[in-house]
Every structure is written in structure tokens, then in C-alpha cells.
Amino acid sequence: MKFGANTFIWASPFTTDTHLGLLDKAAAMGFDLLEVAVEDPALIDVPVLRRAAAAAGVGVLVCGAFGPDRNLSSAETAVHQQAADYLRWCIDAAAELSSPIVSGPMYSAVGKPRLETAAARREEWQRAVSNLHKWGSYAQQQGVRLALEPLNRFETDMINVVDQGLALLTEVECDAVGLHLDTFHMHLEEKDSAAAIRRAGSRIYHVHACENDRGIPGTGQVNWSGIAQALGEVGYDGTVVIESFTPEVQSIARAVCIWRDIAPDQDSIAAQGLAFLKPLLTD
């Protein structure tokens, strides 16, 4: 199992002009990986990032940011095309960076909680199925897998729980497309996070570790012992990344509604989170 930290802990948007030092920081803290949240591809020089990661001795994971203008299941041609172009960039970047996955809620857009008619929802679902099959097949050709992240009901109306994600995967019919489980979203939406992990089984391609208040893993109400046991039972040996937040990164704090201090500082989220997770998941 490899452990990583998401760049959202410290910065937004990530840019290779100003944030390459996070690679050395992650390495010094004992992480295997830095997960780069790609908000604007124009700000990231992939060859520069690859060389800097190699020099720091850490791997890089590609995490997608799917806002309203990057909706792969949109009926609007321009919006769909922007999402497709962005996802292709992420897949190509992941291949160049040796990132085994591209993760995120790429089936739709974040911030789209709507009560649609059954017919409209089915049409949207079918667009997601078709496009994820297409881009999953493309990713597979590049040696990359897509990890779809269920989000809580306040962030999407499409995939909130593992069972919905598995239903989508059944229709997508592509082994290169699996699930990205986030303990924060699971704590809000699943009846039993450990049971959901067992149902997801081998289709879990990535895990985000975050507390129920989005703070330091291990300091809140998430059932970490149950999650650790379930991940062990399904034989998960992939990537576990801390994705937590503080008000210091204001754009992200606004996006995820962080209005108060939930950790002493940014470095504490990463360092204390890793100190908690590593023995829990590897012993």
C-alpha cells in the first residue's frame, strides 16, 4: 500500500512554477506520493513535474477537478467537449507521470444537486456510460485506470454511494474504470462504510482518507477500524491519499464550506494523518 498527500492541503491551484517544493515536503514527511489536483492544465508542465518528482523520490498521482464546465454527461456539446478534452489531458499526463490512475467524480460535475425527472436522469446516465466506456478504453490503452468518486448529496445528484457506482460500472463494461472511495463522503452517505467497501471489493482503485469534518484522519467520528478491516478483507493494496483542508487555502475552503479551523495547520493534517493511517492500514 502506498500513501500520499493531496496538493489541496497546501495550495490551489497547483502550478509547477510555484509549488514543486511540495514534492520535497511530501517526501520529507514520509509519503510515497504527491497527488496533484489538476485545476488548470495550463499551469502544469508535465515533463518538469516528472523530473522534479524523480529528484524528490516520490511518485505523482493525477486527481481531476470536475467543475460545471467539465461535465462529461452534459447534454451541452461545448460543456461535454471541455470535459472530454480535460480528461484526455489528465490521462495523457498520468501516463507520462507513471500515475496508475486518474481519480475524481468524472461521471458528472461537482456542484450539480438537481431533482430531475426520471427520463432526464436516465438520459444523463446513458451519456455518462457511453463516455466513460470511451475514455476508459482510451485510458486502458495508455496503461491508466479511471477511478470514479461518489460524492455526498450536496455535491452531486448522480453517484452518492457505492451501490450506485457499481451499477454505473456494470453498464460501462470496462475493466479500466473502477471506484475512488472517500471516507468523508462515505461517512455522510453510506449506512455502513465497511460493508460498502466489502461490496466494492476489487473495483476499488483509489482511496481518499479524510475525517468526517474534513480534518485530520483519526481525530473524528469516521469508523477507521472498520474501514481498515474491510480494506484488508477485500485485499486492497493500492493508493491511500489524505485529502483534508484548512481555511488557509481560501478557494478550496469556500468550495467545501470550511468556515473554521479544523486542524492546527496544513502540515499537521499531512504529518498527523500519515502517523495515524500508516500503522492502521499496514500492520
Pair 43, 89: CB distance under 8 Å: no
Structure confidence at residue 265 (pLDDT): 86
CB 257 within 8 A of CB 13: no
**Alpha-carbon distance 3 to 281, whole Å?**
10
The pLDDT of residue 283 is 75
User: What are 267's three cell numbers?
Assistant: 502540515
39 labelled catalytic? no
Q: Which domains does the chain have, with CATH numbers?
A: 2-282 (3.20.20.150)
Q: Range with the lowest mean pLDDT among 34-38, 66-70, 128-132, 190-194?
A: 66-70
Per-residue pLDDT of 193-230, as tens digits, reads: 999 999 999 999 999 999 999 889 999 999 999 999 99
Q: Considering the chain, what percentage of its residues have pLDDT values greater than 70? A: 93
Residue 248: predicted pLDDT: 59
In the set 124, 155, 211, 243, the catalytic residue is 243
Q: Tell me what the mean pLDDT of segment 86-101 comes to.
A: 98
35 counts as catalytic? no
Neighbour-count burial of 190, counting CB atoms closer than 10 A to its CB (0-12 exposed, 13-18 middle, 19+ buried) = buried
Cβ pair 105, 156 in contact under 8 A: yes
Predicted local confidence at residue 118, as pLDDT: 85
The residue annotated as part of the active site, out of 35, 149, 190, 211, is 149
Q: How much is the pTM?
A: 0.95
